Amino acid sequence: MNVLLIEDEVNLSEALCHLLKKENYSVDAAFDGQDGLEKGLSGRYDIILLDIMLPKKNGYDVLKELREAKVSTPVILLTAKNQISDKIKGLDLGADDYVSKPFSASELMARMRALLRRKTDKLATNELEYGGLTLNLSSYELSSKDKKIKITLKEGQILELLMANPNHVITKDDLIIKIWGYESDAEYNNIEVYISFLRKKIEYLKTSVVIETVRGLGYKLV
């Protein structure tokens, strides 16, 4: 599971990163709101831990912009603010949960597990749908209203990542890391071949969905 931690207190950030890695999470840290927003917009994270009081851009603004950009990644606010109105504001902006500083590590871990279970439950139907295109995550069958076609495992994994983050750029590096793994010797041309196959199969299904190339970056589903 990939976690984005947006926290400007260096000591707290380092402690949380150490804790999360011990629990077998992969963690990226950002120390200001602007960097955190840019990382969060990538759509590559399974959960975001977001402090409210941040330099450059506060947590409320980061959360607002993530939700406006249709990033649905679960967000837990880390807040030193104990006013009910502050917590309501965060939840209204799209936060999924919050913990008040100081918090216990066990409470944070429990809240993360609860949110990740909830996220998994949303996929319990084993299907993703976007723009009339449906991907069955068990059989890797791709279908539209009138047609169906089988796709390979790698094609399915790539398309699953794109369909889970529509209208957001998924970089080639992210695809290699998430599909092939950190230690893989896969290259960009491997991705390009699979994208070409997927485009032909999506075109066969005659939906309005296309995989767009974002030059120099990667791909997005639109």
Give the DSSP letter of residue 44: -
Per the structure, the count of domains in the chain is 2
pLDDT digits (tens, 9 = 90+) for 52-107: 999 999 999 999 999 888 788 899 998 876 667 777 888 888 888 888 888 888 88
> Which residue range(s) make up the domain with 98?
2-122
Residue 3, strand partner residues? 27, 47
Which of 67, 87, 122 is a domain's end point? 122
pLDDT digits (tens, 9 = 90+) for 16-66: 999 999 888 889 999 999 999 999 988 788 899 999 999 999 999 999 999
93 and 34 co-located in one domain: yes
pLDDT digits (tens, 9 = 90+) for 103-115: 888 888 888 888 8
What secondary structure does DSSP assign to 101-168, as a single string?
SS--HHHHHHHHHHHHHHHHHHTTT-EEEETTEEEETTT-EEE-SS-EEE--HHHHHHHHHHHHSTTS
Instruction: Give the domain CATH number at 180.
Output: 1.10.10.10
24 and 106 co-located in one domain: yes
Task: Assign 171 to helix, strand or coil.
Answer: strand
8 and 113 co-located in one domain: yes
Global pTM reads 0.59
212 and 155 co-located in one domain: yes
